[in-house]
Chains A and B, each alone.
Chain A
Amino acid sequence: MNCGKYQAQFNDYLDGDLSPSERETLQYHLKECLPCYRKWGSLQKTHEILHQLPPLDPPEHLSAVVMARLKDSRFRQRFWYPANLPRWLPMGVGAAVLLLISAALWQVMPSQYPWQSLFPSSRKNVATSPGFSEKPHESLTIRKRDFDSSAPVIVLRVKDFSRADQQLQSMLRSFARLPLPGRQSPRSPHARSARLFQLQVTGQRLPHLLRELHKIGHLDQGQVESQKLANPGQQGQVSIRIVVVSNGSDVEIRQLLREGK
């Protein structure tokens, strides 16, 4: 006897989904097999009990309470909102607008991190020279679009990069008294040993700047484009790029300059 096969038919039998021949075969089996008959009996009883469970009457005040709750403004329908639009749409649009605003602020704000211009005291990672009064809008970082890729390049080779980097930042701040851009590319594998600065300086102060640079490190004369430096701009200003690099190869310099374009 294949009891499993018959027991698998019990539910279809309960639902009246068996064909007449299947029903007859099952009924015959139930007469012959006591364990199956018992199992069928208890399943049938359970089914009948569920069918006969008395329906309950809801409390009389139920609809009155619901209608009262609906009068509460929190549960009012939003008739101004089209029903065929998904409910998350306003929230999604809001989030997108916030993102756009954040991205715009990121571009516009002059600091390394946008919040630094809001909370100037949090700028702890920026080296400052003694006596230099730091202004919140000044920054050592420039954005990619601010780089002048045609500006002449001065390469400053140093032994101790981090020390020279700090010295240079202080010196350039006090020298130029302008927002001083510096770029240490996050993508560069040599980001800890090379940095690109760009600043504008008058033609008169240029020799002084070069002297100061000499004090910090070794100026790579091959890279100093003196031809360009000799021709200041319309207002006597010349834009220059300074790459400070420690024992750097030309690959690092090229990479920094490329990223700065």
Chain B
Amino acid sequence: MGTESLAQQSSTVKRQEEQLLVDRCQRGDREAFAQLMRLHEKQIYNFTYRMLGNEGEAEDLTQDIFIAAFRGIRSFRGEAKFSTWLYRIALNQARNRIKYLSRRNFFARQARRADYGAKMVSESPEGLADSAPTPEQWTITKDLAAQVQECLNQIPHQARQILVLRDVQGFSYDELSEMLSLKPGTVKSRLHRARAALRECLAGKLE
């Protein structure tokens, strides 16, 4: 009980500090924005990487997200958490970038490259040892992480975003429904379908 209230207190303090930074930022303080960015850049970068599956693209998209956030920070009224607001921007920007990249066959080229890479790994002796993790251990090897990413790239982007937000980044259903402007029931059913799609894809790859 004591630990919980401490955790609550610390999260309230964190939120208040964040709000102060946002206030400064809304008055045009760039240093405050740099601090806000340092607080959230890792989460946003991981989200964009899981959405796009490519480090260079993820970096570009993260930059664009923070620039859009800076430009629109005056519209943030503090009704939701700052991270929720930032993720809304991230989701919009990611959706647009995925559309743009899909039109240029980026994901198809990425998949071909991944197939080629996997072949090279499986033919090398180190690759053989690396690509056979025992099911009991389930430590994520580089190869397995790449296969998961490949499967994430293959499922529809709506399913991908919900899986990344919930199962990779650990957001609650309430936070998800706020970010995606969906009812919690809809979020749940979409997540279930997304999990099933990823399970099928991974089962095919890991068997």
Whether the pair B67, A69 counts as a contact (CB closer than 8 A) is yes
Whether the pair A58, B74 counts as a contact (CB closer than 8 A) is no
Q: Which residues of B contact A49 (CB under 8 A)?
A: 138, 140, 144, 148, 202
Q: Which residues of B contact A70 (CB under 8 A)?
A: 30, 33, 67, 70
Whether the pair B135, A45 counts as a contact (CB closer than 8 A) is yes
Asked if B34 is at the interface of the complex by the 8 Å CB criterion, the answer is yes
Whether the pair A58, B163 counts as a contact (CB closer than 8 A) is no
**Considering residues A65, A66, A75, A79, which has the most beta carbons from chain B within 10 angstroms of its beta carbon?**
A66
Closest to B203 in A: A42
Complex formed: what's the CA distance from A70 to B37 in Å? 13
Whether the pair A53, B145 counts as a contact (CB closer than 8 A) is yes
Residue total for B at the interface (Cβ-Cβ under 8 A): 43
Query: Given the interface contacts A58-B45, A70-B30, does A53 sit within 8 Å of B168 by beta carbon?
Result: yes
Closest to A67 in B: B34
| B 93-117 binary contact with A (CB < 8 Å = 1; else 0) | 0000000000000000000000000
Complex formed: what's the CA distance from A83 to B196 in Å? 42
Complex formed: what's the CA distance from A69 to B196 in Å? 41
Shortest CB distance B142–A (Å): 9
Complex formed: what's the CA distance from A216 to B42 in Å? 88
Whether the pair B148, A53 counts as a contact (CB closer than 8 A) is yes
| A 44-74 binary contact with B (CB < 8 Å = 1; else 0) | 0111111111111111001101110110000
Complex formed: what's the CA distance from A63 to B36 in Å? 10
Shortest CB distance B117–A (Å): 18
- Across the interface, A11 reaches (CB within 8 A) one of B140, B144, B195, B198, namely B195
Q: Which residues of B contact A66 (CB under 8 A)?
A: 37, 63, 66-67
Asked if A227 is at the interface of the complex by the 8 Å CB criterion, the answer is no
Complex formed: what's the CA distance from A217 to B82 in Å? 82
Q: Which residues of B contact A75 (CB under 8 A)?
A: 67, 70-71
Whether the pair B145, A54 counts as a contact (CB closer than 8 A) is yes
Chain A binding surface SS class: helix
Shortest CB distance B186–A (Å): 14
Q: Which residues of B contact A57 (CB under 8 A)?
A: 42, 45
Query: Given the interface contacts A58-B62, A63-B38, A66-B63, does A50 sit within 8 Å of B168 by beta carbon?
Result: yes
Whether the pair B63, A51 counts as a contact (CB closer than 8 A) is no
Q: How many A-B residue pairs have CB under 8 A?
A: 95
Asked if A77 is at the interface of the complex by the 8 Å CB criterion, the answer is yes
Shortest CB distance B71–A (Å): 6
Closest to A63 in B: B37
Shortest CB distance A155–B (Å): 66
Query: Given the interface contacts A57-B42, A77-B70, A77-B73, does A47 sit within 8 Å of B195 by beta carbon?
Result: yes
Whether the pair B145, A55 counts as a contact (CB closer than 8 A) is no
Closest to A8 in B: B192
Q: Which residues of B contact A50 (CB under 8 A)?
A: 148, 163, 167-168, 198
| B 112-139 binary contact with A (CB < 8 Å = 1; else 0) | 0000000000000000000000010011
Query: Given the interface contacts A43-B199, A53-B148, does A62 sit within 8 Å of B71 by beta carbon?
Result: no
Interface positions, chain B 135-157, Cβ under 8 Å from A, are 135, 138-140, 144-145, 148
Whether the pair B135, A51 counts as a contact (CB closer than 8 A) is no
Query: Considering the complex of A and B, which 7 residue pairs feature the smallest CB-CB distances, nearest first?
Result: A83-B74, A58-B45, A50-B167, A11-B192, A46-B199, A66-B66, A52-B140
List 8 A-B residue pairs with CB atoms under 8 Å apart, sorted by A's residue number.
A53-B50, A53-B148, A53-B168, A58-B41, A58-B59, A62-B45, A67-B34, A70-B33
